[in-house]
Amino acid sequence: MGEKWKYPNQLGEARLDTYISIIVGGVITAAIVITAAATMQDVDVESGADLAIQLEPLLGEWSRAFISVGLFAAGISSATTSPLGAAFTLSSIFRWKGGMKNKRFKIVFSLVICFGIISSAIGLEPLALLLAAQALNGIILPIIAILIMVVANNKKRLGKYANSLKINIIGGIISLIVVVLGVYSLIDAISGFMDL
Longest CA–CA separation in the chain, Å = 61
Determine the Cα–Cα distance for residues 126 and 112; give it in Å rounded to an integer.
Answer: 15
Residues shown for the chain: 196
Determine the Cα–Cα distance for residues 43 and 23; give it in Å rounded to an integer.
Answer: 30
3-state secondary structure of 3: coil
> Which amino acid appears at position 86 of this protein?
A
Burial class for 96, CB neighbours closer than 10 Å (0-12, 13-18, 19+)? middle
Residue 113: CB partners within 8 Å, gap ≥ 6? 79, 83
Calculate the CA 23 to chain-centre distance.
Answer: 14
**Which of 42, 119, 29 shows the shortest CA–CA distance to 82?**
119
Count of CA atoms in the C-beta half-sphere (13 A) of 20:
6
Q: Is 121 left (phi over 0), alpha (psi -120 to 50) or beta?
A: alpha
Burial class for 108, CB neighbours closer than 10 Å (0-12, 13-18, 19+)? buried
Digit-by-digit pLDDT tens for the chain (196 residues) are 456 777 778 878 888 898 898 899 889 888 878 877 777 777 777 776 777 877 888 888 898 888 888 878 877 877 788 788 888 888 888 888 887 889 999 999 999 888 888 877 887 666 666 667 777 777 888 888 899 899 999 999 888 888 899 999 999 999 999 889 888 878 887 887 677 6
Determine the Cα–Cα distance for residues 106 and 190; give it in Å rounded to an integer.
Answer: 32
pTM: 0.58
